[in-house]
Amino acid sequence: MNTPTTRPRPMQLAGPLRWILPVTLVLLFLAVLLWLPWQARQMESNERQEQLIADTLWVEQAIRFELERNAETLDNLGAEIAAGSIEAPAVQARLEQMRKVARDLTRVVWLDDAGQVRASSGAPAASTEASREAALLARQTGKGRYSRPASAGGTTAQMDYHLPLTRDGFHAGSLVLSYDLDALLDETVPWWFAQDNAVALRDAGDKVMARRESAGPGRGVYTHNRPLDLNGAELLLSTDSVKTAPRLLPNLLVGSVVLLALGLVASLAALWRHVTRRLAAEGALRQQMAFRTAMENSMITGLRARDLEGRITYVNPAFCRMVGLTEAELIGRAPPMQYWAPEAMGEYQQRLAEVLSGHVTPQFETVFQRSDGQRIPVLIFESPLIGNDGQHTGWMGSILDISERKHAEELNRQQQEKLQASSRLATMGEISSMLAHELNQPLAAISSYTSGALNMLSGGGQAVDADTLRPALEQAGLQAKRAGQIIRSVHQFVRKRDPDRQLVDITGVIEGVRGLMDLQARRVFVSLQVHADVALPPVRADRLMLEQVLLNLTRNSVEAMQDSAPERRILRIEARALNGQVEVSVIDNGHGIPDDVSARLYSPFFSTKAEGMGMGLSICRTAIEFHGGTLGHRPNPGGGTVFTFALPAEPAPAHH
């Protein structure tokens, strides 16, 4: 039997090959463990160096900004001095102000063309050779020039800036700024930068002229130099970080392996918990979504979501029923919407612009148009939609169909109008006898004048000229106009009409019904006194409703004084402006109102009169509240009652 001898060879070859992959992976793992700390250290070192360079550039810009700001201020002052538009005292004040603003300035000087000091601020400083050279070069070039930094005899270095002044082409003096370079670093280098870095200013010879070392000298590991090329001065901004190079941990390899192993076990356990919790959360989310969907489908409130561009992203069935459109017809639709009524298109566009700009009205009323053309009034509540990351993603609106509420408001308005009309008719019924008395006078006068004219025409057969008849006929015409005016005022008061809110002068309202109030007052011998402040602001109201309120209040006050002593029968009406409102008070000296009656005084159908309907004060309060005002009462300190109603005042219309 011939058995092959090479059969087991693949198994023998598989032994070494089996270890190649794990060994390679282990070696790769060790290499990564060794490379990662070195790479992290290198990246941290590069990051520190880049941060130092960026911060040095920021400090350089801060120093340049300080120098340029002072130079610009000096240029403006120099222009005024050269133009002769500023006096020496004013220059002195400006120099003092410059030193207050820039605390790195040790002195600011104005020199005339002879080099004499005209104005200065700060202690005199020793003149250096570098400063004199800069002054000469500035005068020759006609431009501002910095001097080389030099020691002025003290421990600090000084740098001057010379600005020549020219008038009509001739040298007219100069302005000089003296900088304390140490103070310049203190003003321009922020504290947080000085805590981590030693900052120095060096001259062209690399000599340190000023330094700031809040945390001690630098370590020389992270350094950066930036030249400050100024006109006439060469400065080098040098920064040296106090930080050392990052170090590797001692047992990094062993610690990394242990931490990696523990991290692997912990990550597996965390992954298992995460998967378990995720599955549970997904189940709860599905249950909540089903509950929310059922809840939204059963609501009668319409819900609508829009993104930041105004496109509809979500609607519920109630909103679809409200506008008569399907969800497919609404989702993704951008303005203008199908349910916008043509007559309200301008309002929709304005509100959309406000929404897109981020300014939304939380609650407002508008009109929607159903797909069949029917208009429905709606009340909309808008609020922002915030995503999981806290970002504003759109707007959510809740829409209520308020057709029934509007219908109820219309019925209530009609009932109020009927009550007001009934109240006016009742008021006119009470004063009808007085109106008859008022009309008797002009009618009797007309009868007398016309009878006299007829007698003159028929008497004696003599001709009567026109001049004799004219006075009698003119008087008869005046009396007829008076009677007609009385009837027109009554007709205007009792006729039914819709409320018409316009700008109304309260004084004019009082005068408009003063005649009728006089009729009520004279019936029981009451004296009427009216006092209104000058230039009362107007109110936006229905004039006829205010007249009715005044007549009802004065009628009650007159009736309250019918049993008072004759000398106390005084009815006062006062009008004044107070705290943005116009207040009207009806003051009587009657019997007053008991506490038990006061609590129910404005209730409908409550009356203290045997023949009263109990609607007068209720209608008065309703009419005042309709105009956004208030009606109340209080005891009169001298006896009686004070009824006061207040209406919001509006600014008087502008006159062009």
432, 520 contact by CB (below 8 A): no
Q: What is the pLDDT of residue 614?
A: 45
Residue that has been written with the tokens 């109030």 in this structure = 517
**Do 456 and 493 belong together in one domain?**
yes
Instruction: Give percent helix, percent strand, percent coil of the chain, each to the nearest 5.
Output: 50, 25, 25
* pLDDT for 656: 44
Q: How far apart are CA 55 and CA 196, in angstroms?
A: 11
Task: Assess whether 513 and 625 both reside in one domain.
Answer: yes
Distances (CA, A) of 291 to 163, 296, 301, 603: 80, 9, 17, 47
Give strand ranges (E) for 147-287. 150-151, 157-167, 170-180, 197-202, 208-212, 223-230, 233-241
Shared domain for 199 and 318, answered yes or no, is no
Q: Are residues 451 and 308 part of one domain?
A: no
Calpha distance 647→550 (Å, rounded): 13
Residues 365 and 420 in one domain: no
Alpha helices in 159-203 (DSSP H): 181-188, 191-196
Domain coverage including residue 479? 403-498
Element (H, E) at 314: strand 312-315
Residue 647 pLDDT: 93
Q: Does residue 121 contact residue 95 with C-beta atoms inside 8 Å?
A: yes
The predicted structure's pLDDT at residue 612? 45
- Give the rounded distance of the alpha carbon of 280 from its chain centre: 46
450 with 577, same domain: the answer is no
Continuous segment of H or E residues that includes residue 411: helix 403-430
Asked if 613 and 607 touch (Cβ cutoff 8 Å), the reply is yes
Q: For position 424, what pLDDT does the model report?
A: 59
CA 617 to chain centre: 40
- Angle at the Cα of 582 (from 485 to 500), degrees rounded to 5? 50
Q: How far apart are CA 344 and CA 365, in angstroms?
A: 12
Q: Which residues contact 649 (CB under 8 A, 6 or more apart)?
A: 536, 537, 538, 539, 577, 580, 581, 582
As a whole number of Å, the CA-based R_g of the chain is 48
DSSP type of residue 123: -
Question: 203 and 234 in one domain?
Answer: yes
Among 243, 269, 289, identify where a domain stops.
243
Domain count, the chain: 4
State the 10-residue block means of pLDDT for the chain, 656 residues long.
Answer: 42 53 67 67 79 87 89 89 87 89 88 87 80 88 89 75 88 89 86 85 86 81 86 86 68 58 67 81 82 73 85 88 86 86 83 78 83 86 82 84 79 68 59 55 64 66 65 69 62 56 88 78 85 90 84 86 87 91 92 78 58 61 85 88 92 56
Task: State whether 65 and 197 are in the same domain.
Answer: yes
pTM: 0.38
Among candidate residues 485, 316, 294, 506, the one with its CA nearest the CA of residue 399: 316
Under 8 Å between Cβ of 503 and 651: no
CA-based torsion, 617, 621, 624, 629: positive or negative? positive
Surface-to-core class of residue 589, CB atoms within 10 Å of its CB (0-12 exposed, 13-18 middle, 19+ buried) = buried
What is the DSSP code (8-state) at residue 580? T
Q: Check whether residue 639 and residue 567 sit in a common domain.
A: yes
Same domain for 525 and 489, yes or no, is no
What's 566's domain CATH number?
Answer: 3.30.565.10
